[in-house]
């Protein structure tokens, strides 16, 4: 009750001061938030004395603003609609009355702006340009920045007075009161389906705008990684033949959910070092490297796909003190059996014949490096029928691309810009490093046998594991992160939130 009274009183003081008062000058960037608090505290005391209103001795607008900042939340369905519009060719913009926040009590609002900048083409803040809604000049400024005419723009706001001048300029407007009604109006005006649409693709991170780094792991060898977000650490480990970029749909979503995401280029891939020695790629050596990477972090969640899945299971077996939890995509956990030689087991399963083809250095490299575009378009593809229905990969001891078209159709899950990024990455070191992972089968088997009897002390997605959690996605092939990214993100975020205390997560939204 006291807070409500204080807010009502504060609102009356702000309105009385008008556009030239502290709040008006805050919104146009003339003063900062901490300066506003000082000025408003004085104005409130004067107004209270004049109206004979009792204010507590320690009254300050700082508490009210701090509570307000913590209440800030994104409207996730509207954000999803904006992402969909952007994917359909619309330029998107956030036009907000905002302030320069130099306070000590930064809340959720301070975390939301970096997220918005990842998902919108433009974020225009009143405090940065000296204009605020509903001044018509701010809409003229937005039109110039968007390089658009009024009749080409749709403007949605939850305050009617902000819409009036925009509407008078010829801009189509939507007053937000009800979510479904607003989305229906937006759908009708844009011509883009926003209600009841099929599962879409989340926002992917752009290699040019994400933070890149390197960590030395031993003399002459370093690993490249990308990083995004703040909070508990999640380390993403890709498989073959991939790159950190395989996690492009997961990195922003996990960062937005309140995690610090580190996606690695595994040894031999992309911008990481690619030493030629086969022994450098044994699981024992790879896991030693992972242990060095997280040496300064108490415990890390590891998520792996394909070969990356093997790495995260082995991290949980051999370095459990470093592991908070592990999740593996498409790579179920299986303990090593010292009574069954691993190479004999591979030979007994025709589906693994391609691993025999990979054993002799230089042979598979020649096939896969001959035409990188062809290699990736054939290997990284959806289980959904392609344009001309490519047959399944041969995956035989005679080659993995044998009998397949020289000019295959585009991959449904690897559009041209993404394909070109993969090609660029593999031109750096080729396939020798990635294929060397397969040339340590016997070594890996012997090492894993030394851990027989140990249990995976982490949450996982395989049978016979303590604290087991399982996730299943229908109509999805091997490339889970790219084929069903939204479904995967939902599973991973729920799992991560269950692992970590939600009170520790500065959670902004679930994408």
Q: Which of 80, 426, 438, 500 is an active site residue?
A: 438
The answer to whether 214 is a known catalytic residue is no
What does the alpha-carbon distance between residue 93 and residue 90 come to, in Å, rounded to a whole number? 10
Q: How many CB atoms lie within 10 A of CB 299?
A: 14
What does the alpha-carbon distance between residue 292 and residue 270 come to, in Å, rounded to a whole number? 20
Largest Cα–Cα distance of the chain, in whole Å?
92
In which element (H, E) is residue 216 found? strand 211-218
Which is it for the CA torsion 92, 98, 99, 101, positive or negative?
negative
Q: Which residues contact 105 (CB under 8 A, 6 or more apart)?
A: 62, 65, 66, 69
Strands in 92-187 per DSSP E:
93-96, 122-125, 154-157, 172-175
The answer to whether 422 is a known catalytic residue is no
Q: Which of 306, 354, 418, 500 is an active site residue?
A: 306
The tokens of 391 are what?
Answer: 């047959």
The answer to whether 438 is a known catalytic residue is yes
Strands in 103-200 per DSSP E:
122-125, 154-157, 172-175
Q: How many CB atoms lie within 10 A of CB 42?
A: 11
What does the alpha-carbon distance between residue 271 and residue 421 come to, in Å, rounded to a whole number? 12
Q: Which of 41, 371, 421, 478 is an active site residue?
A: 478
Query: If you count them, how many residues does the chain have?
Result: 511
The tokens of 241 are what?
Answer: 């033949």
- Known catalytic residues are 306, 438, 478
């Amino acid at each position: 009750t006291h807070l409500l009274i204080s807010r009502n009183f504060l609102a009356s003081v702000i309105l009385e001061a008008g556009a030239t008062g502290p709040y008006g000058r805050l919104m146009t960037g003339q003063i900062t938030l901490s300066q506003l608090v000082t000025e408003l505290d004085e104005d409130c005391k004067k107004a209270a004395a004049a109206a004979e209103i009792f204010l507590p001795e320690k009254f300050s607008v700082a508490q009210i603003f701090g509570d307000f900042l913590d209440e800030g939340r994104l409207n996730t369905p509207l954000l999803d609609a904006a992402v969909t519009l952007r994917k359909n060719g619309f330029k998107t913009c956030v036009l907000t009355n905002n302030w320069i926040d130099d306070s000590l009590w930064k809340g959720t609002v301070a975390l939301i702006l970096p997220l918005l900048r990842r998902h919108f083409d433009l974020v225009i803040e009143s405090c940065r340009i000296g204009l605020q809604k509903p001044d018509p000049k701010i809409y003229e400024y937005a039109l110039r920045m968007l390089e658009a005419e009024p009749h080409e723009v749709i403007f949605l706001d939850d305050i009617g007075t902000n819409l009036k001048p925009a509407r008078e300029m010829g801009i189509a407007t939507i007053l937000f009161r009800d979510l479904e009604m607003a989305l229906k109006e937006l759908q009708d005006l844009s011509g883009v389906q926003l209600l009841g649409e099929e599962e879409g693709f989340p926002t992917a991170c752009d290699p040019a705008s994400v933070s890149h780094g390197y960590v030395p792991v031993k003399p002459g060898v370093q690993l490249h990684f990308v990083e995004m977000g703040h909070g508990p650490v999640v380390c993403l480990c890709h498989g073959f033949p991939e790159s950190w970029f395989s996690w492009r749909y997961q990195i922003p979503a996990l960062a937005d959910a309140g995690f610090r995401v580190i996606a690695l280029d595994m040894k031999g891939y992309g911008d990481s070092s690619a030493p030629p020695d086969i022994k450098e790629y044994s699981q024992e050596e790879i896991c030693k490297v992972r242990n060095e990477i997280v040496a300064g972090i108490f415990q890390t969640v590891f998520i792996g796909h394909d070969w990356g899945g093997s790495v995260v299971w082995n991290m949980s077996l051999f370095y459990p003190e470093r592991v908070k939890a592990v999740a593996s995509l498409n790579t179920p956990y299986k303990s090593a059996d010292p009574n069954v030689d691993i190479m004999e087991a591979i030979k007994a399963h025709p589906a693994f014949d391609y691993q025999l083809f990979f054993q002799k250095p230089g042979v598979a490299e020649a096939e896969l490096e001959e035409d990188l575009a062809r290699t990736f378009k054939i290997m990284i593809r959806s289980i959904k029928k392609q344009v001309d229905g490519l047959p399944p990969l041969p995956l035989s001891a005679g080659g993995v691309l044998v009998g397949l078209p020289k000019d295959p159709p585009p991959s449904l899950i690897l559009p041209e810009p993404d394909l070109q990024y993969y090609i660029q990455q593999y031109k750096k070191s080729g396939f020798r490093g990635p294929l060397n992972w397969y040339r340590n089968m016997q070594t890996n088997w012997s090492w894993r046998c030394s851990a027989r009897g140990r249990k995976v002390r982490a949450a996982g997605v395989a049978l016979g594991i303590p604290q087991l959690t399982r996730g299943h996605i229908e109509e999805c092939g091997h490339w889970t992160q790219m084929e069903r990214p939204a479904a995967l993100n939902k599973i991973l975020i729920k799992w991560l939130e269950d692992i970590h205390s939600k009170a520790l997560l500065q959670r902004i939204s679930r994408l």
